[in-house]
Structure 1
């Protein structure tokens, strides 16, 4: 993976977000986009739901100068996908949104009135009075990347493949396929009425400064893929969230539902992943990094596949079904593209990718620190694509994955310098218990609409 070169200047990058630099970044952004009236201050919760408060641009300028603060109730990381509060939520205090002014983006081709910025979230309670950053996924990823790059003397690059399908609402209120063009790069699929919309979406992404490597028809029928260019981990997730929002918002304006959910239609075998590319540059200690990921892969599933519906993809050629890797082998969960560059196939779009990347980079780096040996064979070199015996199967549910994560949570939290993993387990277990009381199809429809 190579860095994306010649990026447009519609997003503002800086090395820090001090008061002066934050104000400078915002004013420079507004000079490029004088028509912006509102700023959407966003964060992503543990359920993968992107939430936001919207402020007039005059208030945003005050926030950047730290003359004004932006708060939400103390629930930023205490909500489930169905908007239920967790039993552990403390009604006291508040959560402060702290914009990262390096993540400013406009969606000029979609809505020229708005810009977006991603935020870190810090908790303030009456006691203790100190700010608590322990629950913020963006902060955790920033900590992990800085720590891992210093320890390994490498630079991480991350890229995502965004797979999505377009659905329509039927008379009985259920969602069914709308796009039907032939997939797997078939040119005939480009004649589907949805494809001109896909092309317009790519133009909006490019105009916003998002690197797009390629786009094509995908899946069996009616699916599309937009491959995003590799970026630093934080920037990669910021662009992924923007891409999801633009795709869904564009089709919503046409009365349609674009979804990245793992299995949109139960009667259709087609599934959607969010294949995640991660590379070490230069590829130092790559064998131990790969060993660290493989050794902890079952517990990483709790971040990569965070809903029971996610496990409908746990099979060869989709998410993979055993702990295994292989050179250019798409039947296993980790495909090695070249030394130090892997595609994680066992990821879907319902994940909080700040937290998922923090976890997988922690796992790989712990493998390097412990000099863990690569005990798993390269399945790209065997005739049957993956071993048939003596391999560890994937968890079959989010509950099973969370159980595995609980056993290793202390080591993850120590490396992340955060309490985020144990809190994540509490939230996701409560959420899973609520979703088990709903019908699978009600859950499927909810995930289709949100993701």
Structure 2
């Protein structure tokens, strides 16, 4: 049995002599990771080479850590200041999936390691794995899930995207407009092992959404990357083009990838069943308070692009202010409480300022690190806000300790670089590479108008 067979329990097989692909037609395995812009990058290897690649990886340049959103390489991070060097991309073989929408290929997430096989400080997946281990050491487990919004347009409308439907939101007519695409997408997500809870036509023109069922954080991040690939393949098959960009067209609503998390101890969800605020336990409330305390630095990681900054506007349900609320869709942190109908396990916290330009592993690492620090410090959250602070005066917001989240790259980086908790979670090397990439993006955008910046991010994700 080949390494590929062992990893996927009957997935693509080479011939018995190892000379070529099996009769199922799979010829290559695509190894995927996400860079510091949230952009998936990959290497594809012939299926008969996968066994060797599982052992030694494939070579990639370390400079992927300092690629900016438009593929410029910045040398502003000193440890990666030359074009020299090499690292290895190693597939996480037990996460192998045969792609339902691309029958010639299998898909697998990758881990970046140093040339000698040791840990590579810029490996984003490793940053998340460290936080998951830290939580386990404290006796805590996490679940994470995504609501994924995206825009569908006709494939021939690159310069001026033509949404597939521009009419009443949320209705069956909007779904009917993409009937064949929707059927294929649901089948392909299922076959690719991405369980979802629902799929709907969303608020904006041509906008749709599905939610990925909760899983452990590393699995959730892997599924987020796989879901993108699945959507793009299904769209292509039906003459459509998908955009996950935070903002597709200036002035329209944007695409969020709302991140839902919950934490438990000994199988009990700590966001319900307690006598704290809104039924949270003391540790659940401390988790929420930790997120609130570090929210500006978290959002510098979870919504880091110039397109993100254009999306995060008051009144658009994107979470532009630093407050939490119970089922308040304007809140950056929305508590979804347990109910008698849904049960105690359903309680979770939704982070609304989160989008596709975030590396999913770094986003979850930042969220978990902030929440764990809140638990360790025994924080107590302030009371929830059930109104829209965007309608208040500056004085009213100041009285409640509510502030606008950073509105520029400089403000975001200031929040991140002065936050020792989030910097420590990412690691100093990765944090500074991330800083250099964001600064490179800002330099690229200097002098360009807002519409041009939106266009430049439209098809990156």
Q: Normalized against structure 2, the TM-score is what?
A: 0.84
Choose from 422, 425, 428 the match for 2:438: 428
Pairwise CA distance, 1:416: 4.9
- Residue in structure 2 matched with residue 135 of structure 1 by the alignment: 122
SS in structure 1 of the partner of residue 161 of structure 2: strand
- Residue in structure 1 matched with residue 57 of structure 2 by the alignment: 69
Distance (Å, rounded) in 2 between the aligned partners of 1:217 and 1:197: 12
Tell me if 1:146 matches 2:133.
yes
Distance (Å, rounded) in 2 between the aligned partners of 1:277 and 1:418: 27
- Residue in structure 2 matched with residue 196 of structure 1 by the alignment: 180
Pairwise CA distance, 1:330: 0.6
- Do the aligned partners of residues 21 and 361 (structure 1) sit closer, same or farther apart at CA in structure 2, a change above 3 Å counting? farther
Choose from 351, 358, 370 the match for 1:363: 370
- Do the aligned partners of residues 199 and 436 (structure 1) sit closer, same or farther apart at CA in structure 2, a change above 3 Å counting? farther
- Do the aligned partners of residues 198 and 436 (structure 1) sit closer, same or farther apart at CA in structure 2, a change above 3 Å counting? farther
Distance (Å, rounded) in 1 between the aligned partners of 2:146 and 2:306: 22
- Residue in structure 2 matched with residue 25 of structure 1 by the alignment: 7
Tell me if 1:167 matches 2:153.
yes
- Residue in structure 2 matched with residue 80 of structure 1 by the alignment: 68
- Residue in structure 1 matched with residue 202 of structure 2 by the alignment: 218
- Residue in structure 2 matched with residue 11 of structure 1 by the alignment: none
- Residue in structure 1 matched with residue 335 of structure 2 by the alignment: 336
Distance (Å, rounded) in 2 between the aligned partners of 1:165 and 1:435: 23
Q: Bigger CA drift: 243-252 or 413-422?
A: 413-422
1:243-392 equivalences under 5 Å are: 243-266=227-250, 268-281=251-264, 282-284=268-270, 285-314=283-312, 315-338=314-337, 341-374=348-381, 376-380=382-386, 388-390=396-398, 391-392=402-403
Choose from 96, 100, 107 the match for 2:99: 107
Distance (Å, rounded) in 2 between the aligned partners of 1:183 and 1:50: 33
Once the two structures are superposed, what CA deviation does each residue of 1:308-352 show, in whole Å capped at 9, x if it has no partner? 221222223422221100111111111100265111111111111
- Do the aligned partners of residues 23 and 98 (structure 1) sit closer, same or farther apart at CA in structure 2, a change above 3 Å counting? farther
Once the two structures are superposed, what CA deviation does each residue of 1:76-99 show, in whole Å capped at 9, x if it has no partner? 212111111111433222021011
- Do the aligned partners of residues 79 and 412 (structure 1) sit closer, same or farther apart at CA in structure 2, a change above 3 Å counting? same
Pairwise CA distance, 1:50: 0.6
- Residue in structure 1 matched with residue 273 of structure 2 by the alignment: none
- Do the aligned partners of residues 175 and 149 (structure 1) sit closer, same or farther apart at CA in structure 2, a change above 3 Å counting? farther
SS in structure 2 of the partner of residue 30 of structure 1: coil
Distance (Å, rounded) in 2 between the aligned partners of 1:103 and 1:92: 31
Distance (Å, rounded) in 1 between the aligned partners of 2:391 and 2:3: 51
Once the two structures are superposed, what CA deviation does each residue of 1:178-220 show, in whole Å capped at 9, x if it has no partner? 211535421221221x232122111111111110111011114
- Do the aligned partners of residues 437 and 254 (structure 1) sit closer, same or farther apart at CA in structure 2, a change above 3 Å counting? farther
Pairwise CA distance, 1:259: 0.7
- Do the aligned partners of residues 208 and 292 (structure 1) sit closer, same or farther apart at CA in structure 2, a change above 3 Å counting? same
Pairwise CA distance, 1:438: 4.3
Decide whether the 8 Å contact of 2:288 with 2:374 is kept in 1: yes
SS in structure 1 of the partner of residue 397 of structure 2: coil
Pairwise CA distance, 1:393: 1.5
Pairwise CA distance, 1:446: 3.0
Decide whether the 8 Å contact of 1:149 with 1:155 is kept in 2: yes
Once the two structures are superposed, what CA deviation does each residue of 1:291-315 show, in whole Å capped at 9, x if it has no partner? 1100110111211221122122222
Long gaps (5+) in structure 1: 1-19
Long gaps (5+) in structure 2: 15-21, 271-282, 339-346
- Do the aligned partners of residues 247 and 383 (structure 1) sit closer, same or farther apart at CA in structure 2, a change above 3 Å counting? closer
Once the two structures are superposed, what CA deviation does each residue of 1:52-86 show, in whole Å capped at 9, x if it has no partner? 1110011112222x2x4311122221211111111
- Residue in structure 2 matched with residue 3 of structure 1 by the alignment: none
Superposition RMSD in Å: 2.6
Decide whether the 8 Å contact of 1:331 with 1:386 is kept in 2: no
- Do the aligned partners of residues 174 and 384 (structure 1) sit closer, same or farther apart at CA in structure 2, a change above 3 Å counting? closer
Distance (Å, rounded) in 1 between the aligned partners of 2:229 and 2:43: 15
Pairwise CA distance, 1:439: 4.4
SS in structure 1 of the partner of residue 89 of structure 2: strand
- Do the aligned partners of residues 170 and 113 (structure 1) sit closer, same or farther apart at CA in structure 2, a change above 3 Å counting? closer
Distance (Å, rounded) in 2 between the aligned partners of 1:399 and 1:444: 19
Once the two structures are superposed, what CA deviation does each residue of 1:207-262 show, in whole Å capped at 9, x if it has no partner? 11110111011114321111111111111111111111221232234443211112
SS in structure 2 of the partner of residue 289 of structure 1: helix
- Do the aligned partners of residues 213 and 446 (structure 1) sit closer, same or farther apart at CA in structure 2, a change above 3 Å counting? same
- Do the aligned partners of residues 415 and 310 (structure 1) sit closer, same or farther apart at CA in structure 2, a change above 3 Å counting? closer
Distance (Å, rounded) in 2 between the aligned partners of 1:439 and 1:161: 30
Tell me if 1:93 matches 2:85.
yes
